[in-house]
Chains A and B, each alone.
Chain A
């Protein structure tokens, strides 16, 4: 069965510092991977997704993630944190890879705190 593990339930960085949120996946089929973000008092929204076209995926708000098959990882990064990046971030994998009938399996989430 497909699953994702997010390392670290809370990450704290200073404004302007590198953001690194870790996600490792387990999948028996070539995975489709996603990062979603939940800003305070808002619904989840898609940040970026990997669907096998390119291993480095760029998303909204300056975030990007790199798919590394050898490490079964899909870590999320941003070179310089902004106060507005404070949110909860969820990594997800489609439970049926590229199948259109797949549902998303989410990780436990990582809360990002940005200090001034």
Chain B
């Protein structure tokens, strides 16, 4: 497809389980971002990948969260031992060039994560 693709669109899991969320950015986009959208909290930055540079992980809320980007394309966000406060919409975005300032971000539709 032409846009940013995220899967699954919805994920329901039990507290304590691990989950993996997938993001396929637009082909050729070098920058990839993960954000979390919670009710009343806006968009919370999680992690940012740019080409072969070390990712900016400054937004990850705890060590239960990790992400990788293989081959400069697909990215997986992993949440271990999920907690109820992890419930949110997880958004992925990509941009063509180096960063957010000169290139607009293209967002996926998100993964709605519900932790019971």
- Chain A positions within 8 Å of B, measured between CB atoms, are 6, 9, 32, 34, 36, 41-46, 49, 51, 90, 92, 94, 96-109
Question: Which of B4, B43, B56 gathers most chain A CB within 10 Å?
Answer: B43
Q: Are A100 and B102 in contact (CB under 8 A)?
A: yes
Q: Are B99 and A99 in contact (CB under 8 A)?
A: yes
**What are 25 A-B pairs at a CB distance below 8 A?**
A34-B100, A43-B3, A43-B106, A44-B107, A45-B107, A46-B104, A46-B105, A49-B104, A51-B101, A90-B42, A92-B43, A94-B101, A99-B99, A100-B101, A100-B102, A101-B53, A101-B98, A103-B56, A104-B45, A104-B100, A106-B35, A106-B42, A107-B42, A108-B40, A109-B42
CA of A44 to CA of B93, assembled, Å: 9
Q: Are A108 and B98 in contact (CB under 8 A)?
A: no
Q: A49-B104, A100-B101 are in contact. List 17 more A-B contacts (CB 8 A).
A: A36-B105, A43-B106, A43-B110, A44-B105, A45-B107, A99-B99, A101-B99, A102-B99, A103-B48, A103-B56, A104-B45, A104-B100, A105-B45, A106-B42, A107-B42, A108-B40, A108-B42
Chain A residue at minimal CB-CB distance from B41: A108
**Cross-chain contact of A102 among B4, B42, B101 (Cβ < 8 A):** B101
**Cross-chain contact of A100 among B42, B99, B109 (Cβ < 8 A):** B99
Residues of B within 8 A of A105 (CB): 45
Contact count A vs B, C-beta below 8 Å:
75
Chain A residue at minimal CB-CB distance from B43: A106
